[in-house]
Amino acid sequence: MIKVASEPFDPLFALRAHEERLGARLRGAGAQAMFVGSMRDFNEGEAVEAMVLEHYPGMTEKALAEIDAEAGKRWPLEASLIIHRHGRLLPGDAIVLVITASAHRQAAFEACSFLMDWLKTKAPFWKLEESAGKTRWVEAKDDDDAAARRWDRRQH
């Protein structure tokens, strides 16, 4: 399940709601992996007061759904959940939540890591940091591209 949220959300509340929605399906999934990314109050040597996350309505949801579907093809997942904010965030606010559920832990961990690596390089969001009355667009990192590439399938 994918959600692009305009308002703050509580990751633990979202986990509980997700488990309630899944109900009996979770009984077969002994392993859940969860990642929460939150806004930091510091980046590249500067204090950050707020952040605005721009997105591409329509394409963002589509891209996240495709990334989620790819995880479901590669690993035996019982369920997955991605929640990603857009709009204005304050330090400590959750930016992104990824939860994966599988029978065993290896698939849950790997799929969770894959979802994060892919959404960081493929989901149309752009971060604008606000500090001391100025704004600055966050630059994409080559490390994130490298992290996504490690999931590339080897051609035989």
Partner 1 sequence: MSIQVRFFASLAESVGRRETGCAHAPGMTVADVWRQVNGDAAPPAGTLCARNQNYCRFDDRVEDGDEVAFFPRVTGG
Stretch that binds partner 1, among 24-32, 39-47, 104-112, 120-128 (CB under 8 A): 120-128
Stretch that binds partner 1, among 5-13, 17-25, 71-79, 118-126 (CB under 8 A): 118-126
Distance CA 83, CA 64 (A): 10
Question: Which of 79, 89, 95, 101 touches partner 1 by CB under 8 A?
Answer: 95
Examine residue 138 and tell whether it contacts partner 1 (CB under 8 A).
yes
Site track for partner 1 across 6-45, x = CB under 8 A: -------------------------------x--------
